[in-house]
Amino acid sequence: MTDQLTLRRSAARPAPRARPRPAPSAERVVLLAAPLLFLALMLAAPLAELLGRSLADGGAALRTALGSAVFLDAVWRTLWLALVATLVTVGLGTVYALAVAVGPAWVRAFLVAGLLVSLWTSVMVRTFGWMLLELPTGALYWLLHNLGLADAPLQVFQTTAAMYPAMVAVMLPFAVLAVLGPVTAIDRDLLAAAAVSGAGPLLTFRTVVLPSLRGAMISGGVLVFVMSLGFYVTPLLLGGPSNLTVSGLINAQLRTANRIDVGAAMSVLLIAGTVGAYLIADRLFRVSERWGGR
């Protein structure tokens, strides 16, 4: 079974190249040891502290966290938010990337400039924009009111619903960027072959376009999902104090409730969830190879 898998995997890849010769040891020490040591230390020390705090007193803090209804609420809210954000951004991101590839010049310019605006302005600034839009008498109300669609101030701000559009907007660029490269690299001969064989747009999309993009969509989706799980600013500012995500709850435990141990326990659980999700996805879909070269 393992052999079969290896075989399939190597068949799916470009021909293996000659590897560089074994590196001399001094080279290894400088190139490998320094960054490894730095990262290992910077990751292990905080993790050890968190684990130590949450496991003290026979795991009392961990039990408190897991037994708290507020925490479980936050977990569901976070998971749901991340899932919706992922599905919407991957779908919308694919459409966006396709439009960049096939749109008329002015549409392309509009789309690319939008992507750049979003990438190069701070997440916080963009979140402020969403706050201003969603405030009871904010910009959105102004627009709807002038169109005659709303006569009472909006009740969106500081609700769970307020977080969704902003999260989608913040995460969308990552999904678009993940798919954009593969969209331009779709095999033209395959497209031509589909056209010659008389395949319509839907059939071509299903048999040529989608299979070429699937890997990128998955790795982009994993990135968005994992980042959404731990996102902080946008849910905090838009969801408000009564609709906390796990990140917001940890923040509250540490900074206002002064329960460092419970905050640490929740942090451990959150890290376990996100890193676990990432490692499983990496195992299943080889995400990091797509991100970090083969």
Partner 1 sequence: MNPPLRRALGHWRAPVCVLAAAAALLFYVPFLVVVATSWTGGEFVLFPPQGFSLRWYASVLGDPEWAQAFRTSLWTSAVATAVAVVIGTLGALALSRLRSRTGRRLLRTLFIVPIAIPPVAYGAGLYLVNIGSEPLYGTFVLFVLGEAVLGAPYVFVLVANRLEQTDPTLHPAAATLGASWPMILWRVDLPLVLPSVLRGTLFAFVVIFDEVVLSVFLVPVGGRTLPLQMLGASQEAFSPQLTAASTLVSVVAVAALALFGLAARIRKDPP
Q: Which of residues 172-211 bind partner 1 (CB under 8 A)?
A: 172-173, 183-184, 186, 188, 191-192, 194-195, 200-202, 204-205, 208-209
Among 11, 18, 147, 152, binds partner 1 (CB under 8 A): 18
Token match 């730095």: residue?
38
Among 7, 23, 70, 83, binds partner 1 (CB under 8 A): 23
Binding piece for partner 1, criterion CB under 8 A, among 22-30, 61-69, 150-158 = 22-30
Cβ burial of 1 (10 Å; 0-12, 13-18, 19+) is exposed
Residue 130 touching partner 1 (CB under 8 A): yes
Among 86, 158, 243, 274, binds partner 1 (CB under 8 A): 274
> What is the nearest approach in angstroms of partner 1 to the Cβ of residue 81?
13
Among 128, 155, 206, 258, binds partner 1 (CB under 8 A): 128
Burial 4-31 (b: 16+ CB within 10 A, else e): eeeeeeeeeeeeeeeeeeeeeeeeeeee
Binding piece for partner 1, criterion CB under 8 A, among 61-69, 123-131, 152-160 = 123-131
Site string for partner 1, 39-78 (x = CB under 8 A): xx-xx-xxx-xx--x-------------------------
Residue 262 touching partner 1 (CB under 8 A): no
Site residues for partner 1, 213-252, by CB under 8 A, read: 223, 226-227, 229-233, 237, 246-247, 250-251
Q: Which CB atom, from 243 or from 274, has the smaller least distance to partner 1?
A: 274
Binding piece for partner 1, criterion CB under 8 A, among 59-67, 69-77, 104-112, 150-158 = 104-112
Per-residue tokens: 219: 């790795």
Residue 109 touching partner 1 (CB under 8 A): no
Residue 148 touching partner 1 (CB under 8 A): no
Residue 95 touching partner 1 (CB under 8 A): yes
Q: Which CB atom, from 72 or from 276, has the smaller least distance to partner 1?
A: 276
Among 165, 177, 259, 285, binds partner 1 (CB under 8 A): 165
Q: What is the 3-state secondary structure (H, E, C) of the chain?
A: CHHHHHHHHHHHCCCCCCCCCCCCHHHHHHHHHHHHHHHHHHHHHHHHHHHHHHHHHHHHHHHHHHHCHHHHHHHHHHHHHHHHHHHHHHHHHHHHHHHHHHCCHHHHHHHHHHHHHHHHCCHHHHHHHHHHHHCCCCHHHHHHHHCCCCCCCCCCCCCHHHHHHHHHHHHHHHHHHHHHHHHHCCCHHHHHHHHHCCCCHHHHHHHHHHHHHHHHHHHHHHHHHHHHHCCCHHHHHHHCCCCCCHHHHHHHHHHCCCCHHHHHHHHHHHHHHHHHHHHHHHHHHCHHHHHCCC
Among 1, 15, 125, 152, binds partner 1 (CB under 8 A): 125
Binding piece for partner 1, criterion CB under 8 A, among 59-67, 68-76, 148-156, 285-293 = 285-293
